[in-house]
Structure 1
Amino acid sequence: MAMTKGLQLLSEAKDLDASVIEIRRAIHAHPELGLDLPVTQKLILDRLDALGVPATRGATISSVVGHIAGTQPGPTTLLRADMDALALVEETGLPFASAVQGVMHACGHDAHVAMLLGAAELLMAHRHELRGSVILAFQPGEEGAGGARRMLEEGLMQPSPDRSYALHVITNIPSGLIATRGGPMMASADEFLITLTGRGGHASAPHEARDPIPVAAELVLALQVALTRSVNVFDPAVLTVGQIEAGTTFNIIPEVATIRGTFRALSEETRVKVSDLVNRVAGGIAKAHGAEVDVSFPMESYPVTVNDPEGAGRALQLARLLVGPDAVQEMVTPVMGAEDFSYLLQVSPGAMIFLGVAPPGVDDPAPNHSNRMLVDEAALHRGVALYALLALAD
């Protein structure tokens, strides 16, 4: 029965290709950043209204929450799609490329919104079969602004749904492949900012100054070494310095140098350990050189995304019924990217699921977050059908 339903939904989702792709391209051409996404929000509200899905908008952010009530009692399923873009100059050459300078949908959130709107159409068509209800959560601010947490604060999970799922397109796995795993699925994400203050002076007389640049250089290497000697390799962490700033010209020793980076972990214990390590190593290196140091963690920090084993197993089982076992993969290891869907999984059991969208004929596809990222739109109907099946299946 479930297999028959899956194949039917897949066929119906394929029939929605033109509509879903049109929505995806419209969103792609008009990307928005952060928590305030009025254009995207209006598109979603208009589409849900046309489908007859009652929806509410966020009180303080541009979120949208749709509600579909079934005709029979049963569980409440939350389906989430993030909406925001990234601060990048698009270089794809697509005819529907970003019309907003310096902003691009380079993580596939345009596809997520389009797939969930397609699923809403399927669910409305099968509403008479729906046991329970469905919450359609369209979330802004995933890219560092903590939109999921803000939606929780506005009552998204009051009462808590019985199960929660999110799909995420990925360009580095084959198009149409569906993948997930139980347990840790994605890492936590924390940003650190280290400010080193010395004493400025002339480049010809470093002994009369206190140069923060070699202190910064030593600290970058010390953090890498300390990490390998402090963290269990079977509970890994990654630390990357992505930005160093100091000085104004070649012959002046600056007073201040700043180091900015991120660390990722797969458990809360290791996450806390790395945070302490950054503070300790930065303090020790600065003291050894007589520099002042300030360490802060300015970004919205995301916890580890932990899939419920039963929820992930259910997703894998339904995906196999939908697209066949050869197009479904149970992941062996998590990935070190981060997701604020982690907040929702702390409240309601479920799973983050990957959908491969590697463009055909490209040997080395540009990854997510690249300004050259391309999406194979031929895979999107699988995401539409899977969203719907996750809500309709027992």
Structure 2
Amino acid sequence: MSIHHEASELSTQLTTWRRHLHAHPEVSFQEFETQKYLLDQLESLGLKPYRIGQTGVAVDIGEGSKGVAIRADIDALPIQEESNWPFRSVNDGVMHACGHDGHTAILLGVAKILASRQDQLPGRIRLMFQPAEEKIPGGAKLLIQDGVLDGIDRVLGLHLSSDMPTGTVGAVVGAQTANADSFTIDIEGQGGHGSQPHLSIDPIIVGSELTLAIQSIVSRSMNPRSPVVVTIGTFHSGANFNIIAPRARLTGTVRTFSVEDRRQVRRRLEELVAHISAAHGAHAVLDYVEGYPSVTNSERETSIVREVAARLPGIQSWMDIEPLMAGEDFSYYQEVCPGTFFMLGCRNEEQEAIWPHHHPRFTLDENALPLGVSLLSETALQYLLLP
């Protein structure tokens, strides 16, 4: 039986796995029950999984000097689900709103298919069920520190996309996601009564000027041909209408694709924070946190995904997608091994699979699950044949 046919036959089981995971989500670094569930499911396939990265799971299938690793992320988000699906989350305030339940179900399907073929594999395929993709510093670093890439030559992963119809596949050769950084600006002013502003140093005024000035970083300090995003996400200050608060806090995010742009944005933030606060007699501190680096797909490995997709029944088209400003810690694996992270469509308007990722009504077209199993399995086998 072909891998595609076997994956199609797994549709019911894939749906069962996905719906169980969807109903029992756990946030980053807390995936203890998910870990137990995965260990049970993999052991039932006759495999020998092991714990890794605190709440992660890994398992090897096959033997040999060549190794390929496939990753699925297993964590959910701190979001209250608003759907009425019978398999909706039973954990208040936690939801699989990014498709990680689908990723995990797909990798379980890969495990089932490859387990029955492990004596025929031309090498070793390691499945990585990774925790904490949604929260910096991310689970990928933990797995790497625990040796998950030891003896591995190439890495492979996918992300379901509600922007792409089911049956479509896409990727970018080179930078596919952005460097995803965050920052906090703490402003120390001098509080006082709202009727006597001359006796105070108003941190809200300082924060407001900073908010506007920061927008000039992209429009006036960066090359307009280089995609850069700088966003202020929160502004907190004050407790009463007639009191000038003593302090304020701003938080935001920076998205860039190049190391040079990343450094330039950080330098300009530091300059604006220092000079604008000083001009008002306030004191401000910038805490800049470098997040996940850019996912960068290698050319040869990406071309293999495209070749596999072209001959796979059920795949309607390949999309040369545009780079995404999102962040993704799969990039840490690619700093060690070449590989590809591709997008698999899961949008289906008839099934209400139309909501964006991280939306409280997000869901996915489960018809995409067997396609993901076929793509990952076939591509991993092709990677093992590379010199």
Residue 369 of structure 1, CA deviation: 1.0
* 1:88 paired residue among 79, 82, 89: 79
Q: Give the aligned residue type for 2:126.
A: I
Aligned position for 1:388? 377
1:230-256 CA distance string (max 9 Å, x none): 222232211111111001121111011
Aligned position for 2:147? 155
Question: Is 1:329 paired with 2:319?
Answer: yes
Aligned position for 2:57? 64
Aligned position for 2:21? 27
> Aligned equivalents of 1:364 and 1:375: distance in 2?
5
> Aligned equivalents of 1:389 and 1:364: distance in 2?
26
5+ residue gaps, structure 1: none
Residue 215 of structure 1, CA deviation: 1.2
* 2:292 paired residue among 269, 281, 302: 302
> Aligned equivalents of 1:362 and 1:123: distance in 2?
30
Aligned residues of 1:195 and 1:295 also touching (Cα < 8 A): yes
Further displaced range: 119-128 or 166-175:
119-128
> Aligned equivalents of 1:280 and 1:129: distance in 2?
60
Residue 75 of structure 1, CA deviation: 2.9
Distance 1:234 1:324, change over 3 A: farther
* 1:99 paired residue among 90, 94, 97: 90
Aligned residues of 1:316 and 1:330 also touching (Cα < 8 A): no
Residue 128 of structure 1, CA deviation: 3.7
Q: Give the aligned residue type for 1:339.
A: E
Provide the TM-score with structure 1 as the length reference.
Answer: 0.93
Question: Is 1:49 paired with 2:43?
Answer: yes
> Aligned equivalents of 2:86 and 2:314: distance in 1?
34
Aligned residues of 2:169 and 2:315 also touching (Cα < 8 A): no
> Aligned equivalents of 1:78 and 1:325: distance in 2?
23
Aligned position for 1:271? 262
Residue 359 of structure 1, CA deviation: 2.7
Aligned residues of 2:162 and 2:347 also touching (Cα < 8 A): yes
* 1:339 paired residue among 323, 328, 334: 328
Distance 1:363 1:138, change over 3 A: closer
Residue 322 of structure 1, CA deviation: 1.3
Residue 228 of structure 1, CA deviation: 1.9
> Aligned equivalents of 1:97 and 1:390: distance in 2?
32
* 1:356 paired residue among 345, 366, 369: 345
Residue 364 of structure 1, CA deviation: 9.1
Residue 127 of structure 1, CA deviation: 2.4
Q: What secondary structure is seen at the aligned counterpart in 1 of 2:325?
A: strand
Residue 74 of structure 1, CA deviation: 6.3
Distance 1:325 1:385, change over 3 A: closer
Residue 376 of structure 1, CA deviation: 0.7
Further displaced range: 228-237 or 15-24:
228-237
Aligned position for 1:10? 4
> Aligned equivalents of 1:101 and 1:248: distance in 2?
30
Distance 1:238 1:22, change over 3 A: same
1:29-65 CA distance string (max 9 Å, x none): 111111231111011111110111221102x510111
Further displaced range: 45-54 or 335-344:
45-54
Aligned residues of 2:110 and 2:373 also touching (Cα < 8 A): yes
> Aligned equivalents of 2:85 and 2:314: distance in 1?
32
Question: Is 1:121 paired with 2:112?
Answer: yes
Aligned position for 1:368? 357
Q: Give the aligned residue type for 1:368.
A: H
Question: Is 1:256 paired with 2:250?
Answer: no
Aligned position for 1:190? 181
* 2:161 paired residue among 170, 181, 194: 170
Percent identical pairs in the alignment equals 38
Question: Is 1:37 paired with 2:31?
Answer: yes
> Aligned equivalents of 2:271 and 2:241: distance in 1?
31
Provide the TM-score with structure 2 as the length reference.
Answer: 0.95
Residue 325 of structure 1, CA deviation: 6.9
Aligned residues of 1:23 and 1:114 also touching (Cα < 8 A): yes
Aligned residues of 1:185 and 1:335 also touching (Cα < 8 A): yes
Q: What secondary structure is seen at the aligned counterpart in 1 of 2:170?
A: strand
Say how many residue pairs are matched.
Answer: 382
> Aligned equivalents of 1:42 and 1:19: distance in 2?
18
> Aligned equivalents of 1:192 and 1:131: distance in 2?
46
Distance 1:228 1:323, change over 3 A: farther
Aligned residues of 2:107 and 2:373 also touching (Cα < 8 A): yes
Residue 361 of structure 1, CA deviation: 3.0
Distance 1:365 1:52, change over 3 A: same
1:274-301 CA distance string (max 9 Å, x none): 1222111111211111110011035x61
Aligned position for 2:217? 226
> Aligned equivalents of 1:238 and 1:257: distance in 2?
23
Distance 1:323 1:32, change over 3 A: same
Q: What secondary structure is seen at the aligned counterpart in 2 of 1:10?
A: helix
Aligned residues of 1:175 and 1:360 also touching (Cα < 8 A): no
